[in-house]
């Protein structure tokens, strides 16, 4: 019997998981990834700066500071010694805020064996250099393989076993193309997957990273407008136009359109823009409701990645001559002292554009002056 090659179903390949994984960063998502990898059967070392957090994880299998009373699997070896954490590791996850990625990788580098793949789980673009987080890590760790783990993931839900999905992306060289199941992306994907945590494999590192950086900024915008009293129509419009801003910058950086509509793009954007569990959405809600930035989060110094991203993303887009109207509005409000109401009114009153954008049409808005005046008054 002759087989039709167009109808042959590919047989799933078997990938070899990594034996030991080191997770650098004992915050909520770092602890969650450590728990998932441990449940997947990996030996697990978790590094963090706080000795009390490390002690609690070892002694009680909880991280009350970041995950409340959620039970962690036994066997997570938490430490404040980064050399101890990466000793013998077959793969490393860097799960620290974006501004700390360079320093953390530099501290790890002398203790990490050659060739060990490193996945960065921070979302953003480095200030001053304009480098994506994987590029920052490569700058310090070269020539080790560097990738990214990203997607629509709230840490607490993932640890509690709610069905969750994420993307693992690494560059694919010739050997990875010939044997994709043994690539770092595939091996790390199976090393993290559990009965409830599902991972996808990608070779589009740029697309995954740009999606993660921009979605935080769009979430702040959604929060601002929701906090100002607008509802679902407004949020849906911001999310949709936010996807387009992702696509523009991603393609300019070499990413693929399908990544923007995947887990690390639209998926992560939808989650972050839909819940006050997101610090980005929460910041926007407070600002939109009239709370001064210094008084947000009850005056506590909470790190909100989208606040920094709004500047670094637009810096990069300006260099590439890519228009990002929503990100620019958020930047103006957070960093340039612009009025929130007027900024969003002008965003809505800008010239009308075509959809799809291949039509390259732009025409005057018939109600620009009225839109600016009335929207600004409603938001004020």
Active site positions, annotated: 215
Cis preceding linkage at 197, omega within 30: no
Closest CA to 344 of 369, 379, 370, 317: 379
Return the DSSP state at 132. B
Question: In 247-265, which positions are buried (b, 16+ CB within 10 angstroms) versus exposed (e)?
Answer: bbbbbbbebbeebbebbbb
Ramachandran angles phi, psi of 197, nearest 5°:
-105, 115
**Residue 187 and residue 175 in contact, taking contact as beta carbons nearer than 8 Å:** no
Crossing angle of helices 232-252/305-320, nearest 10°? 50
Question: What tokens were used for 216?
Answer: 């935080």
Q: Residue 76: which H helix or E strand, with range?
A: strand 76-79
**Residue 61 and residue 41 in contact, taking contact as beta carbons nearer than 8 Å:** no
Question: In 343-361, which positions are buried (b, 16+ CB within 10 angstroms) versus exposed (e)?
Answer: bbbbbbbbeebeeeeeeee
Residues 334 and 293: their CA atoms lie apart, in Å, by 8
């Amino acid at each position: 019997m002759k087989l039709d090659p167009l109808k042959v179903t590919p047989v799933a390949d078997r990938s070899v998981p990594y034996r030991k994984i080191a997770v650098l960063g004992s915050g909520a998502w770092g602890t969650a990834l450590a728990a998932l990898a441990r449940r997947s059967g990996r030996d697990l070392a978790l590094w963090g700066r706080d000795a009390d957090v490390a002690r609690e994880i070892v002694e009680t299998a909880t991280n009350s500071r970041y995950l409340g009373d959620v039970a962690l699997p036994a066997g997570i070896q938490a430490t404040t010694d980064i050399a101890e954490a990466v000793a013998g590791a077959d793969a490393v996850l860097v799960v620290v805020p974006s501004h700390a990625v360079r320093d953390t990788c530099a501290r790890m580098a002398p203790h990490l064996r050659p060739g060990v793949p490193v996945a960065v789980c921070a979302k953003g673009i480095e200030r001053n250099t304009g480098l994506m987080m994987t590029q920052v890590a490569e700058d310090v760790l070269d020539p080790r393989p560097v990738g990214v783990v990203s997607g629509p993931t709230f840490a607490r839900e993932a640890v509690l076993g709610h069905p969750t999905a994420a993307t693992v992306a690494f560059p694919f060289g010739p050997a990875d193309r010939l044997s994709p199941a043994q690539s770092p992306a595939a091996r790390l994907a199976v090393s993290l997957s559990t009965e409830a945590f599902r991972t996808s494999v990608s070779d589009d590192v740029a697309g995954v990273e740009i999606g993660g950086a921009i979605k935080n900024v769009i979430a702040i915008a959604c929060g601002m407008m929701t906090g100002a009293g607008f509802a679902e129509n407004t949020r849906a419009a911001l999310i949709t136009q936010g996807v387009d801003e992702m696509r523009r910058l991603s393609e300019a950086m070499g990413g693929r359109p399908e990544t923007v509509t995947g887990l690390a793009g639209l998926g992560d954007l939808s989650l972050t823009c839909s819940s006050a569990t997101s610090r980005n959405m929460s910041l926007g809600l407070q600002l939109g409701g009239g709370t001064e930035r210094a008084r947000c989060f009850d005056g506590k110094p909470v790190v909100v990645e989208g606040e920094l991203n709004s500047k670094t993303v637009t810096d990069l887009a300006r260099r590439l001559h890519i228009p990002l109207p929503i990100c620019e509005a958020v930047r103006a409000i957070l960093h340039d002292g612009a009025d929130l109401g007027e900024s969003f009114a002008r965003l809505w009153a800008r010239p009308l554009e075509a959809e799809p954008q291949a039509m390259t049409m732009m025409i005057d808005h018939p109600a620009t002056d009225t839109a600016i005046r009335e929207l600004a008054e409603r938001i004020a």
